[in-house]
């Protein structure tokens, strides 16, 4: 089953389901002659892979990417292949599926899952792992985003990290380096906060419960002038891409909802020069167009819906029942969602980069 395409120039279409033999996709719109390093693609996918710590699902997947089309077979000294301008097709085999874990859910609507809405829309659903609503689908986004990152080049740096989990967040005035993110199993760059988050998650896990949180993303190097006014604003396109990720519940740019409590004199970003503003409450975007400052946004993720606690729900006949959800589920989605956030931001920005190239030609 294929999804609707994402993007205007870069068009991503995905296929497969969580308990099929494979997930795959096609990224169309990549210009010919772009140097693509498949090892960098695999590195991004490895960041999303399950089973890397006690805070992710125990599902064991190798997640090896196979590129099927769109790249010239010749590999240069740096391990790069040139894009042909044709669609780049890829596939990732599902190696560790256990459909039997979901046999008791065949006619049951799990609380806060997409079971009911999917059944209502299509009249049929695959109960094994959530079908098209499974987070397994996001592996295709990470692959496409890794290609988009290489279109953008090294000048643009997209870095996401975990800022809050279960109500525990990085203190407002804390000093930390985003580059330290990999020192934490939760990808929180403030190590003291990470340790508090880890303890909270262990306590929740003992109870069979899960947690939500917030991922922050900072993008450096986007020049002023990217984005389109009115219906194709950069913040609107980023929101569209980010909010398509499983379990997202909200997004804010710059000072976000806190800025709504400020006065204009508190919130306005005064210019020091054409290259710098005194503050960045706008989050690097004004009027839907980048202003040359760092782009900054936060994304809220809900707690994982599959909890190991007895819950009340209904079956397809509308009968009230109790369920206990079995299987291998993440206690929190945020660490694995970090590369997905970066991937979707990369796809949106690469689209705007290509728009700028077209505009320059005109």
Confidence (pLDDT) at 308: 85
| Neighbour tally for 280: CB within 10 Å | 16
- Which helix (DSSP H) or strand (DSSP E) does residue 234 occupy? helix 234-242
Least confident of 218-222, 278-282, 320-324, 357-361: 357-361
d(CA 356, CA 232): 13
Would you tell me the crossing angle of helices 138-152 and 38-48 to the nearest 10 degrees?
A: 140
Residue scoring higher pLDDT (4 or 244):
244
Helix H or strand E segment including 120: helix 115-122
Residue 19: strand, helix, or coil: coil
Report the pLDDT value the prediction gives residue 53, as an integer from 0 to 100.
73
- pLDDT, one tens digit per residue, over 178-196 is 999 999 999 999 999 999 9
208-258 tens-digit pLDDT:
999 999 999 999 999 999 999 998 999 999 999 999 999 999 999 999 999
Q: What's the chain's length in residues?
A: 362
The model's pLDDT over 59-90, given as tens digits with 9 standing for 90+, comes to: 667 899 999 999 999 999 999 999 999 999 99
pLDDT higher than 60, residue 362: no
What is the share, in percent, of the chain residues with pLDDT greater than 70? Answer: 94
What pTM was computed for the model? Answer: 0.93
At 25, which helix (H) or strand (E)? strand 22-28
pLDDT tens-digit readout, 289-313: 999 999 999 999 999 998 888 999 9
Q: How high is the mean pLDDT of the chain?
A: 92
Q: Are 222 and 156 in contact (CB under 8 A)?
A: yes
Tell the CATH topology of 11-361: Chorismate synthase, AroC fold (3.60.150)
| Calpha distance 326→101 (Å, rounded) | 6
In this structure, is the dihedral angle defined by the CA atoms of residues 90, 142, 63 and 72, taken in order, positive or negative? positive
Q: In this model, does residue 3 exceed pLDDT 90? A: no
Dihedral angle, C-alpha 296, 302, 306, 307, nearest 10 °: 120
The pLDDT of residue 321: 94
Per-residue pLDDT tens over the stretch 8-64: 899 999 988 766 778 999 999 999 999 999 999 999 999 998 767 787 765 667 899
Q: What is d(CA 362, CA 358) in angstroms, rounded to the nearest whole number?
A: 6
The pLDDT score that the predictor gives to residue 111 is 93
Query: Residue 158 in contact with residue 222, Cβ under 8 Å?
Result: no
For residues 291 and 303, is the Cβ–Cβ distance under 8 A? no
Neighbours of 77 (CB within 10 A): 5
């Amino acid at each position: 089953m294929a999804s609707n395409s994402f993007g205007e120039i870069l068009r991503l279409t995905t296929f497969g389901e969580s308990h099929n033999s494979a997930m795959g996709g096609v990224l169309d719109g990549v210009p010919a002659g772009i140097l693509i390093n498949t090892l960098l693609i695999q590195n991004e996918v490895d960041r999303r892979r399950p089973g890397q710590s006690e805070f992710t699902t125990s599902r064991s997947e190798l997640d090896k990417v196979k590129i099927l089309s769109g790249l010239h077979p010749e590999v240069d000294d740096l391990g790069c292949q040139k894009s042909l301008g044709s669609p780049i097709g890829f596939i990732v085999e599902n190696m560790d599926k256990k459909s039997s874990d979901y046999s008791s859910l065949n006619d049951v609507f799990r609380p806060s899952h997409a079971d009911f809405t999917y059944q209502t829309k299509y009249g049929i659903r695959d109960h094994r792992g959530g079908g098209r609503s499974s987070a397994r689908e996001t592996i295709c986004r990470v692959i496409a985003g890794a290609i988009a990152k290489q279109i953008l080049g090294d000048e643009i740096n997209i870095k996401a990290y975990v800022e809050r989990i279960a109500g525990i967040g990085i203190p407002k005035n804390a000093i930390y380096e985003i580059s330290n993110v990999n020192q934490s199993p939760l990808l929180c760059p403030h190590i003291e906060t990470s340790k508090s988050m880890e303890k909270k998650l262990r306590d929740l896990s003992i109870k069979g419960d899960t947690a939500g949180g917030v991922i922050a993303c900072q993008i450096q190097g986007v020049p002023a002038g990217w984005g389109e006014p009115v219906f194709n604003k950069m913040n609107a396109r980023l929101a569209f891409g980010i909010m398509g990720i499983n379990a997202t519940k909200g997004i804010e740019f710059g000072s976000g909802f806190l800025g709504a409590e400020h006065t204009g004199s508190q919130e306005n970003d005064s210019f020091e020069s054409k290259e710098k503003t005194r503050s960045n409450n706008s989050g690097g975007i004004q009027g839907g167009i980048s202003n040359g400052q760092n782009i900054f946004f936060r994304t809220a993720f809900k707690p994982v819906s599959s909890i190991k606690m007895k819950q009340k729900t209904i079956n397809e006949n509308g009968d009230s029942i109790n369920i206990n959800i079995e299987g291998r589920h993440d206690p929190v989605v945020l660490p694995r969602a970090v590369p997905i956030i970066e991937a979707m931001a990369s796809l949106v920005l690469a689209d705007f980069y290509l728009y700028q190239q077209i505009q320059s030609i005109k």
